Copies of this chain bind each other. A is one copy, B any other.
Protein backbone atom coordinates (compact mmCIF):
# COMPACT_ATOMS: atom_id res chain seq x y z
CA UNK A 1 0.00 0.00 0.00
CA UNK A 2 1.45 3.32 -1.05
CA UNK A 3 1.21 6.14 1.48
CA UNK A 4 -1.28 8.74 0.29
CA UNK A 5 -0.60 12.45 -0.05
CA UNK A 6 -1.67 13.24 3.49
CA UNK A 7 0.81 10.85 4.96
CA UNK A 8 3.69 12.91 3.61
CA UNK A 9 2.90 15.23 6.48
CA UNK A 10 3.32 12.38 8.93
CA UNK A 11 6.75 11.66 7.63
CA UNK A 12 7.65 15.13 8.77
CA UNK A 13 6.58 14.35 12.33
CA UNK A 14 9.05 15.46 15.00
CA UNK A 15 9.47 11.93 16.34
CA UNK A 16 9.90 10.21 13.05
CA UNK A 17 13.71 10.14 13.19
CA UNK A 18 13.61 7.93 16.25
CA UNK A 19 12.56 4.98 14.13
CA UNK A 20 14.94 5.25 11.26
CA UNK A 21 17.29 2.47 12.27
CA UNK A 22 15.93 -0.81 13.51
CA UNK A 23 18.98 -2.97 13.83
CA UNK A 24 19.66 -5.08 16.90
CA UNK A 25 17.78 -4.26 20.10
CA UNK A 26 16.60 -0.77 19.38
CA UNK A 27 15.49 1.21 22.39
CA UNK A 28 14.53 4.82 22.22
CA UNK A 29 16.83 6.94 24.34
CA UNK A 30 15.31 7.17 27.83
CA UNK A 31 16.17 10.86 28.17
CA UNK A 32 13.65 11.67 25.46
CA UNK A 33 10.71 10.19 27.35
CA UNK A 34 9.88 13.25 29.37
CA UNK A 35 10.09 15.71 26.50
CA UNK A 36 6.91 17.24 25.21
CA UNK A 37 7.80 15.40 22.01
CA UNK A 38 8.68 12.19 23.84
CA UNK A 39 7.93 9.17 21.68
CA UNK A 40 4.58 7.54 22.20
CA UNK A 41 5.95 4.12 21.36
CA UNK A 42 8.85 2.04 22.55
CA UNK A 43 9.91 -0.52 19.97
CA UNK A 44 12.08 -3.44 21.07
CA UNK A 45 13.27 -5.33 18.04
CA UNK A 46 15.09 -8.59 18.65
CA UNK A 47 16.97 -9.28 15.47
CA UNK A 48 17.85 -12.82 16.46
CA UNK A 49 14.19 -13.85 16.68
CA UNK A 50 12.90 -11.40 14.07
CA UNK A 51 10.22 -10.20 16.49
CA UNK A 52 9.48 -6.61 17.45
CA UNK A 53 7.56 -5.69 20.60
CA UNK A 54 5.78 -2.37 20.36
CA UNK A 55 4.95 -0.86 23.74
CA UNK A 56 2.32 1.87 23.55
CA UNK A 57 3.18 4.66 25.99
CA UNK A 58 0.81 7.54 25.41
CA UNK A 59 -0.23 8.46 28.97
CA UNK A 60 -2.53 8.16 30.62
CA UNK A 61 -4.56 5.61 28.58
CA UNK A 62 -2.92 5.19 25.17
CA UNK A 63 -5.58 7.23 23.42
CA UNK A 64 -5.34 6.89 19.67
CA UNK A 65 -4.78 10.57 18.91
CA UNK A 66 -3.73 11.87 15.51
CA UNK A 67 -0.22 12.27 16.88
CA UNK A 68 -0.10 8.76 18.25
CA UNK A 69 -1.55 7.17 15.14
CA UNK A 70 0.92 9.04 12.96
CA UNK A 71 3.86 7.78 14.98
CA UNK A 72 2.33 4.31 15.13
CA UNK A 73 1.84 3.98 11.37
CA UNK A 74 5.39 5.13 10.66
CA UNK A 75 6.74 2.59 13.12
CA UNK A 76 4.68 -0.26 11.67
CA UNK A 77 5.64 0.65 8.13
CA UNK A 78 9.32 0.66 9.01
CA UNK A 79 9.05 -2.79 10.59
CA UNK A 80 7.02 -4.01 7.62
CA UNK A 81 9.71 -2.89 5.20
CA UNK A 82 12.50 -4.47 7.26
CA UNK A 83 12.81 -7.99 5.83
CA UNK A 84 14.42 -9.22 9.05
CA UNK A 85 11.31 -8.34 11.08
CA UNK A 86 8.76 -11.17 10.77
CA UNK A 87 6.67 -10.80 13.91
CA UNK A 88 5.09 -7.92 15.84
CA UNK A 89 3.70 -7.94 19.36
CA UNK A 90 1.50 -5.01 20.40
CA UNK A 91 1.28 -4.24 24.09
CA UNK A 92 0.86 -1.37 26.52
CA UNK A 93 3.26 0.34 28.91
CA UNK A 94 0.38 2.01 30.74
CA UNK A 95 -1.11 0.30 33.80
CA UNK A 96 -4.57 -1.28 33.49
CA UNK A 97 -5.21 -0.22 29.92
CA UNK A 98 -4.20 -1.57 26.53
CA UNK A 99 -5.70 1.38 24.67
CA UNK A 100 -8.74 3.50 25.49
CA UNK A 101 -9.48 3.90 21.78
CA UNK A 102 -9.84 6.92 19.52
CA UNK A 103 -8.98 10.23 21.15
CA UNK A 104 -12.20 12.19 21.50
CA UNK A 105 -10.22 15.43 21.56
CA UNK A 106 -9.47 14.88 17.86
CA UNK A 107 -13.21 14.74 17.11
CA UNK A 108 -14.60 17.37 19.48
CA UNK A 109 -14.68 21.01 18.45
CA UNK A 110 -12.32 20.40 15.55
CA UNK A 111 -12.50 21.60 11.93
CA UNK A 112 -13.80 19.25 9.24
CA UNK A 113 -10.26 19.22 7.83
CA UNK A 114 -8.81 18.06 11.14
CA UNK A 115 -11.51 15.40 11.53
CA UNK A 116 -10.78 14.16 7.99
CA UNK A 117 -7.05 13.95 8.68
CA UNK A 118 -7.72 12.13 11.93
CA UNK A 119 -10.03 9.62 10.29
CA UNK A 120 -7.55 8.94 7.50
CA UNK A 121 -5.00 8.09 10.19
CA UNK A 122 -7.44 5.67 11.87
CA UNK A 123 -8.04 4.00 8.49
CA UNK A 124 -4.30 3.83 7.88
CA UNK A 125 -3.66 2.15 11.23
CA UNK A 126 -6.29 -0.48 10.43
CA UNK A 127 -5.07 -1.02 6.87
CA UNK A 128 -1.45 -1.41 7.93
CA UNK A 129 -2.21 -3.86 10.73
CA UNK A 130 -4.96 -5.90 9.08
CA UNK A 131 -2.88 -6.42 5.93
CA UNK A 132 0.47 -6.87 7.65
CA UNK A 133 2.77 -9.56 6.31
CA UNK A 134 4.19 -9.92 9.80
CA UNK A 135 2.70 -12.27 12.36
CA UNK A 136 0.86 -9.85 14.66
CA UNK A 137 -0.04 -10.68 18.25
CA UNK A 138 -2.07 -8.48 20.60
CA UNK A 139 -0.76 -8.78 24.15
CA UNK A 140 -3.78 -7.18 25.80
CA UNK A 141 -2.59 -6.29 29.28
CA UNK A 142 -5.47 -3.99 30.21
CA UNK A 143 -8.84 -2.70 29.10
CA UNK A 144 -9.36 -2.29 25.40
CA UNK A 145 -12.57 -0.48 24.42
CA UNK A 146 -13.55 0.89 20.98
CA UNK A 147 -10.47 1.69 18.88
CA UNK A 148 -8.34 -0.36 21.29
CA UNK A 149 -10.53 -3.35 20.57
CA UNK A 150 -10.28 -2.67 16.82
CA UNK A 151 -6.49 -2.61 17.06
CA UNK A 152 -6.59 -6.00 18.84
CA UNK A 153 -8.98 -7.43 16.24
CA UNK A 154 -6.55 -6.69 13.40
CA UNK A 155 -3.96 -9.03 14.90
CA UNK A 156 -3.49 -12.70 14.05
CA UNK A 157 -3.93 -13.75 17.69
CA UNK A 158 -5.17 -12.11 20.89
CA UNK A 159 -3.87 -12.94 24.37
CA UNK A 160 -5.59 -11.07 27.22
CA UNK A 161 -4.76 -10.70 30.90
CA UNK A 162 -7.13 -12.85 32.95
CA UNK A 163 -8.46 -9.99 35.05
CA UNK A 164 -12.21 -9.51 35.54
CA UNK A 165 -11.76 -5.75 35.77
CA UNK A 166 -10.42 -5.51 32.23
CA UNK A 167 -12.96 -5.23 29.45
CA UNK A 168 -12.89 -5.21 25.67
CA UNK A 169 -15.45 -4.39 22.99
CA UNK A 170 -16.63 -1.99 20.32
CA UNK A 171 -18.79 0.18 22.58
CA UNK A 172 -19.20 3.15 20.23
CA UNK A 173 -23.02 3.27 20.35
CA UNK A 174 -22.87 3.88 24.11
CA UNK A 175 -21.27 7.23 23.26
CA UNK A 176 -23.85 7.97 20.57
CA UNK A 177 -21.38 7.31 17.77
CA UNK A 178 -21.20 4.42 15.32
CA UNK A 179 -18.49 1.90 14.48
CA UNK A 180 -17.96 2.17 10.71
CA UNK A 181 -18.43 -0.77 8.33
CA UNK A 182 -14.80 -1.88 8.46
CA UNK A 183 -14.83 -2.08 12.29
CA UNK A 184 -17.99 -4.15 11.86
CA UNK A 185 -16.46 -6.36 9.15
CA UNK A 186 -13.37 -7.02 11.27
CA UNK A 187 -15.55 -8.05 14.19
CA UNK A 188 -17.79 -10.27 12.02
CA UNK A 189 -14.65 -11.98 10.70
CA UNK A 190 -13.68 -12.72 14.30
CA UNK A 191 -16.89 -13.56 16.20
CA UNK A 192 -19.53 -13.96 13.48
CA UNK A 193 -22.57 -11.99 12.38
CA UNK A 194 -25.02 -12.47 15.25
CA UNK A 195 -22.60 -11.79 18.08
CA UNK A 196 -21.39 -8.70 16.23
CA UNK A 197 -24.93 -7.45 15.65
CA UNK A 198 -25.83 -7.57 19.33
CA UNK A 199 -22.42 -6.35 20.50
CA UNK A 200 -22.44 -3.30 18.21
CA UNK A 201 -26.08 -2.33 18.70
CA UNK A 202 -25.74 -2.45 22.48
CA UNK A 203 -22.13 -1.20 22.52
CA UNK A 204 -21.20 -4.18 24.70
CA UNK A 205 -17.97 -4.32 26.67
CA UNK A 206 -17.01 -7.88 27.62
CA UNK A 207 -15.02 -8.98 30.65
CA UNK A 208 -11.93 -10.94 29.68
CA UNK A 209 -13.64 -14.27 30.43
CA UNK A 210 -16.75 -13.35 28.41
CA UNK A 211 -14.49 -12.14 25.59
CA UNK A 212 -12.86 -15.57 25.55
CA UNK A 213 -16.26 -17.28 25.47
CA UNK A 214 -17.43 -15.41 22.36
CA UNK A 215 -14.01 -15.63 20.66
CA UNK A 216 -13.21 -11.93 20.86
CA UNK A 217 -9.86 -12.97 22.36
CA UNK A 218 -8.12 -16.31 21.85
CA UNK A 219 -6.49 -16.95 25.19
CA UNK A 220 -6.41 -15.69 28.79
CA UNK A 221 -3.26 -15.86 30.92
CA UNK A 222 -2.24 -14.32 34.24
CA UNK A 223 -1.34 -10.68 33.73
CA UNK A 224 2.38 -11.15 34.35
CA UNK A 225 2.56 -13.82 31.65
CA UNK A 226 0.86 -11.95 28.81
CA UNK A 227 4.05 -10.84 27.09
CA UNK A 228 5.89 -14.14 27.62
CA UNK A 229 2.93 -16.04 26.17
CA UNK A 230 2.82 -13.68 23.19
CA UNK A 231 6.51 -14.34 22.59
CA UNK A 232 5.98 -18.11 22.68
CA UNK A 233 2.96 -17.78 20.38
CA UNK A 234 4.72 -15.70 17.77
CA UNK A 235 7.45 -18.35 17.61
CA UNK A 236 4.85 -21.00 16.85
CA UNK A 237 3.37 -18.91 14.05
CA UNK A 238 6.81 -18.17 12.60
CA UNK A 239 7.46 -21.91 12.21
CA UNK A 240 5.12 -21.82 9.21
CA UNK A 241 6.84 -20.86 5.91
CA UNK A 242 6.29 -17.10 5.54
CA UNK A 243 5.13 -17.11 1.93
CA UNK A 244 2.44 -19.76 2.52
CA UNK A 245 1.19 -18.02 5.67
CA UNK A 246 1.19 -14.61 3.99
CA UNK A 247 -0.69 -15.74 0.88
CA UNK A 248 -3.24 -17.47 3.13
CA UNK A 249 -3.64 -14.40 5.37
CA UNK A 250 -4.13 -12.18 2.34
CA UNK A 251 -6.71 -14.58 0.89
CA UNK A 252 -8.68 -14.46 4.16
CA UNK A 253 -8.57 -10.68 4.58
CA UNK A 254 -8.32 -9.17 1.10
CA UNK A 255 -12.08 -8.80 0.45
CA UNK A 256 -12.49 -6.93 3.74
CA UNK A 257 -9.49 -4.70 3.04
CA UNK A 258 -10.57 -4.01 -0.54
CA UNK A 259 -13.94 -2.76 0.72
CA UNK A 260 -12.26 0.04 2.62
CA UNK A 261 -9.55 0.88 0.10
CA UNK A 262 -12.15 1.30 -2.62
CA UNK A 263 -14.41 3.42 -0.37
CA UNK A 264 -11.85 5.32 1.61
CA UNK A 265 -12.75 8.87 0.64
CA UNK A 266 -16.48 8.24 0.98
CA UNK A 267 -15.88 6.74 4.41
CA UNK A 268 -13.93 9.85 5.48
CA UNK A 269 -16.68 12.10 4.15
CA UNK A 270 -19.31 10.08 6.01
CA UNK A 271 -17.35 10.30 9.24
CA UNK A 272 -16.75 14.05 8.93
CA UNK A 273 -20.41 14.76 8.13
CA UNK A 274 -21.53 12.63 11.05
CA UNK A 275 -19.06 13.78 13.70
CA UNK A 276 -19.42 17.49 12.97
CA UNK A 277 -23.21 17.41 13.43
CA UNK A 278 -24.39 19.63 16.27
CA UNK A 279 -26.21 16.77 17.95
CA UNK A 280 -23.15 14.50 17.88
CA UNK A 281 -20.85 17.27 19.09
CA UNK A 282 -23.28 17.85 21.95
CA UNK A 283 -23.23 14.13 22.84
CA UNK A 284 -19.43 14.12 22.87
CA UNK A 285 -19.42 17.27 25.01
CA UNK A 286 -21.73 15.64 27.54
CA UNK A 287 -19.57 12.52 27.58
CA UNK A 288 -16.46 14.62 28.26
CA UNK A 289 -18.25 16.46 31.08
CA UNK A 290 -19.23 13.11 32.55
CA UNK A 291 -15.61 11.89 32.38
CA UNK A 292 -14.41 15.08 34.13
CA UNK A 293 -16.97 14.69 36.92
CA UNK A 294 -16.02 11.05 37.38
CA UNK A 295 -12.38 12.04 37.88
CA UNK A 296 -13.12 14.72 40.47
Contacts and interface: CB of A to CB of B under 8 A. Distances in A.
Interface of A: 156-157, 172-179, 181, 184, 188-194, 196-198, 200-203, 215, 218, 236-237, 240-241, 243-245, 247-249, 251-253, 279, 283
20 contacts: A156-B198, A173-B245, A175-B244, A176-B244, A177-B244, A178-B248, A188-B193, A189-B194, A189-B197, A190-B194, A191-B194, A197-B252, A198-B218, A200-B248, A201-B237, A201-B245, A201-B249, A202-B245, A203-B240, A243-B279
A41 B101 CA distance: 46
Contacts of A191: 194
B184 A189 contact: no
Contact of A244 (B172, B218, B247): B172
A244 B202 CA distance: 9
A184 B252 contact: yes
Q: Summarize A's interface: helix, strand, loop or mixed.
A: helix
A184 B200 CA distance: 23
Contact of A193 (B192, B202, B241): B192
Contact of A156 (B201, B244, B283): B201
A190 B195 CA distance: 8
A237 B157 CA distance: 31
Given A184-B251, A200-B252, A202-B236, A241 B194 contact: no
A273 to B, nearest CB: 12
A193 B179 CA distance: 20
Given A198-B218, A201-B237, 15 more contacts: A173-B240, A173-B248, A177-B244, A178-B251, A184-B248, A184-B251, A184-B252, A190-B193, A190-B194, A192-B192, A194-B215, A197-B253, A201-B240, A201-B248, A202-B240
A240 B240 CA distance: 44
Contacts of A252: 184, 193, 196-197, 200-201
A253 B193 CA distance: 10
Nearest to A274: B247
Contacts of A251: 178, 181, 184
A7 to B, nearest CB: 27
Contacts of A243: 176, 279
A17 to B, nearest CB: 35
A203 B248 CA distance: 10
A191 B198 CA distance: 13
A189 B178 contact: no
Q: Which 7 A-B pairs have the closest CB atoms?
A: A173-B244, A176-B241, A197-B252, A189-B193, A178-B247, A200-B248, A173-B240
Contacts of A218: 198
A178 B215 contact: no
A285 to B, nearest CB: 14
A233 to B, nearest CB: 10
